[in-house]
Structure 1
Amino acid sequence: MIQLKQLTKSYGKGRKVTTALSDLNLSIQKGEIFGVIGHSGAGKSTLIRCINLLERPTSGEVWVNGVELTGLSKKQLQEQRRKIGMIFQHFNLLSSATVYDNVAFPLRLTKTSKEQIDRKVNELLSLVGLEEHKDKYPAQLSGGQKQRVGIARALASDPDVLLCDEATSALDPQTTNSILKLLLDINKKFNITIVLITHEMHVIQSICDRVAVIHEGGIVEQGPVTEVFLKPQHYVTREFILRDEANNEALQIAIEAPHLDSSRAAKITFVGEMTYESILSQTSKDTGVNFAILQGTISTIKDVPYGQLIVRFEGDKKAIDQTIKVLTGQGLDVEVIE
């Protein structure tokens, strides 16, 4: 659906050249919600703006739906951009236009008939829950309502792709969750491919299927959110995930606890339905090993439940080894904390 091939974007000339993206490769599948996470200055916004060529790459190729955008004429590019909607961090609404007129704006640019515009705008305002606000102006709306207008406007041309540039970072947590739910509903209803950039792991965890971690202009880690979130390989990814102070404190307790032959600490990860099963207690009962829970959490990654426990096993060393072996054999990820 979307392919970025050896993408490089530099600014400036000579000794003042700044490289925002460097030889970046990325593939996004049709119908998925793909997240890109990274710190400020990592290249996130440049990457997403290169997808619709609001930023033209210095080198490399951008393919969307089988079309190489980087090889098109200006007129051809305008045609292709109509299939790519975009929502922005600060909404980018026309302040002197009503909610209705903001959503109708892209349709009027393509000289759509008044009847079609009226039908489409009312349909979209109903979709985003703003049908009662169509005659209001942006200044009369909350931040969440403004973003809903932005989403409706982005959907007006029936795009195949929706690009979200930090779409929730200006919103409070409750409003953020409502916008994420709306994006998820839109993805399911229309099978629109959504590319979402953010610096918030919660956003990725809530709705994304896959994620790429960007650092210093390159992708340092990518894959299904469950894998990247639960088994981070790169230190930047771990930084985003290990911001939970309780988790860090529990890890520190486990690390500093005496590690005699009679005890061993481990982090155990459950994914899917096994999250709710009594695998740990049943296994420890069978092997005769006791355990103490130092920290635990149960949550979801999109629709997938998961659990993570940091435990200290106590008992015979061979029995502890056997417990870890049995747990691993049942599909759990067991990481011994040394």
Structure 2
Amino acid sequence: MIELKGLTKVYGSKKKVTTALSGLSLTVDKGEIFGVIGHSGAGKSTLIRCINLLERPTEGEVWVGGVELTKLGKRELQQKRSKIGMIFQHFNLLSSATVYNNIAFPLTLNGTPKAVIKERVNELLALVGLEEHSDKFPAQLSGGQKQRVGIARALASDPDVLLCDEATSALDPQTTDSILNLLLDINKKFKLTILLITHEMHVIQSICDRVAVIHEGGIVEEGPVSEVFLKPKHFVTKEFINRDSVGDDGVKLAASVPRPEWAKLVKITFLGAKTYESVLSQVVRETGVNFAILQGTISTIKDVPYGKLTVSFEGEDSAVDKTLKLLQERDLDVEVIG
């Protein structure tokens, strides 16, 4: 649905040049929720604005729905943009217009008949749960309600793609979760392709199918969220995960707990149904090894549960080795770290 080929964006003149994107390539499949995560200044906002050509790339190609946007004329590009919805961090609502008129705005610009506009806006008000707020103005709404208006407006033209530019970073955690659930419902109901950029690992973990990590204008790691999240390779990815992987519902114990010199320190990762099975206790009963859990968390990646444990094993070397082998045979990821 979205394909970026060798995307480069350079700002400034010869004396002072800033390269925001450098030869970046990326593919987003139809119907998936794809996340791009990176620190401030990594190139996230430039990337998403290049997709609908609000920023025209210096080099490279932008394909959406099989059409290369960089080759289109002004009128053709406007028509194609109508099928690319966008929601923003700070909502970008018309302060002097009601909720109804904000949602209707793109349809009004396209010359859509009033009867059609009314039917479509009412559908969208119901979709985002704002039927009772139709006649209110943005100043009368909460942050979450404003973002729901922004989502409804982005969907007004029945887009094929929805771009989300840090759509939850101005919201509190509870409101963030409600907006993420709404985006997930929209994706499932309409098979809408969603590309979102964020600096919050929680957002990626909650709703995305795949993720790309952007750093200094390039993609440094990419793949299914479960793979990238549980087996990060690049130091930037590890920074995000170490900072955000343990949430309020997780358990985190000090990793520096003193342990005997003869103990072996191991990281064990559970994914899916294995998370809730007593695999560890079954194995140690079989091998006779003693263990202590030094650090642990249980959470979900989208709808898939996972668990991560740091465990200290004590016993004969052969028994500990057998324990690790049996854990691996039960499809757990096992890493000796000390």
Matches within 5 A, 1:174-213: 174-213=174-213
Q: Given that residues 8 and 57 in structure 1 are in contact (C-alpha distance below 8 angstroms), is that contact kept between their aligned partners in structure 2?
A: yes
Letter in 2 for 1:251: A
Alpha-carbon distance in structure 2 between the residues aligned to 1:135 and 1:61: 42
Alpha-carbon distance in structure 2 between the residues aligned to 1:72 and 1:108: 24
Alpha-carbon distance in structure 2 between the residues aligned to 1:70 and 1:210: 26
Which stretch shifts more, 163-172 or 285-294?
Answer: 285-294
Gaps of 5+ in 2: none
Q: Given that residues 202 and 245 in structure 2 are in contact (C-alpha distance below 8 angstroms), is that contact kept between their aligned partners in structure 1?
A: no
Alpha-carbon distance in structure 2 between the residues aligned to 1:32 and 1:275: 25
- Cα deviations across residues 96-126 of structure 1 (Å, max 9, x unaligned)? 0000000000001111111100000000000
Q: Given that residues 33 and 187 in structure 1 are in contact (C-alpha distance below 8 angstroms), is that contact kept between their aligned partners in structure 2?
A: yes
Alpha-carbon distance in structure 1 between the residues aligned to 2:261 and 2:109: 70
Letter in 1 for 2:214: I
Q: Given that residues 297 and 307 in structure 1 are in contact (C-alpha distance below 8 angstroms), is that contact kept between their aligned partners in structure 2?
A: yes
Change (3 A) 1:244 1:91: closer
Matches within 5 A, 1:1-338: 1-243=1-243, 250-253=254-257, 257-260=259-262, 263-338=263-338
Could you list the runs of 4 or more consecutive aligned residues of structure 1 that deviate by over 4 angstroms after TM superposition? 244-249
Q: Given that residues 242 and 248 in structure 1 are in contact (C-alpha distance below 8 angstroms), is that contact kept between their aligned partners in structure 2?
A: no
Alpha-carbon distance in structure 1 between the residues aligned to 2:206 and 2:283: 32
- Cα deviations across residues 173-222 of structure 1 (Å, max 9, x unaligned)? 11101000000000000000000100000111010010000000000001
Alpha-carbon distance in structure 1 between the residues aligned to 2:186 and 2:240: 27
Alpha-carbon distance in structure 2 between the residues aligned to 1:176 and 1:106: 25
Displacement after TM superposition at 1:248 (Å): 8.2
Alpha-carbon distance in structure 2 between the residues aligned to 1:141 and 1:46: 29
Provide the aligned C-alpha RMSD in A: 1.3
Displacement after TM superposition at 1:319 (Å): 0.5
Which stretch shifts more, 236-245 or 23-32?
Answer: 236-245
Q: Given that residues 9 and 19 in structure 2 are in contact (C-alpha distance below 8 angstroms), is that contact kept between their aligned partners in structure 1?
A: yes
Alpha-carbon distance in structure 2 between the residues aligned to 1:146 and 1:236: 32
TM normalised by structure 2 equals 0.97
- Cα deviations across residues 266-292 of structure 1 (Å, max 9, x unaligned)? 110000011111111101111111111
Alpha-carbon distance in structure 2 between the residues aligned to 1:245 and 1:17: 36
Q: Given that residues 104 and 153 in structure 1 are in contact (C-alpha distance below 8 angstroms), is that contact kept between their aligned partners in structure 2?
A: yes
Letter in 2 for 1:119: E
Instruction: Say which SS state the counterpart of residue 20 (structure 1) adopts.
Output: strand
Displacement after TM superposition at 1:14 (Å): 0.4
Change (3 A) 1:252 1:235: farther
Letter in 2 for 1:69: L
Alpha-carbon distance in structure 2 between the residues aligned to 1:30 and 1:6: 20
TM normalised by structure 1 equals 0.97
Q: How many residues end up aligned between the 2 structures?
A: 334
Instruction: Say which SS state the counterpart of residue 76 (structure 1) adopts.
Output: helix
Instruction: Say which SS state the counterpart of residue 228 (structure 1) adopts.
Output: helix
Q: Given that residues 270 and 307 in structure 1 are in contact (C-alpha distance below 8 angstroms), is that contact kept between their aligned partners in structure 2?
A: yes
Alpha-carbon distance in structure 2 between the residues aligned to 1:76 and 1:114: 24
Alpha-carbon distance in structure 2 between the residues aligned to 1:245 and 1:111: 47
Percentage identity across aligned positions? 75
Alpha-carbon distance in structure 2 between the residues aligned to 1:6 and 1:251: 42
Change (3 A) 1:128 1:77: same
Change (3 A) 1:244 1:153: closer
Gaps of 5+ in 1: none
Instruction: Say which SS state the counterpart of residue 22 (structure 1) adopts.
Output: strand
Q: Given that residues 100 and 135 in structure 1 are in contact (C-alpha distance below 8 angstroms), is that contact kept between their aligned partners in structure 2?
A: yes
Alpha-carbon distance in structure 1 between the residues aligned to 2:166 and 2:208: 14
Q: Given that residues 34 and 211 in structure 2 are in contact (C-alpha distance below 8 angstroms), is that contact kept between their aligned partners in structure 1?
A: yes
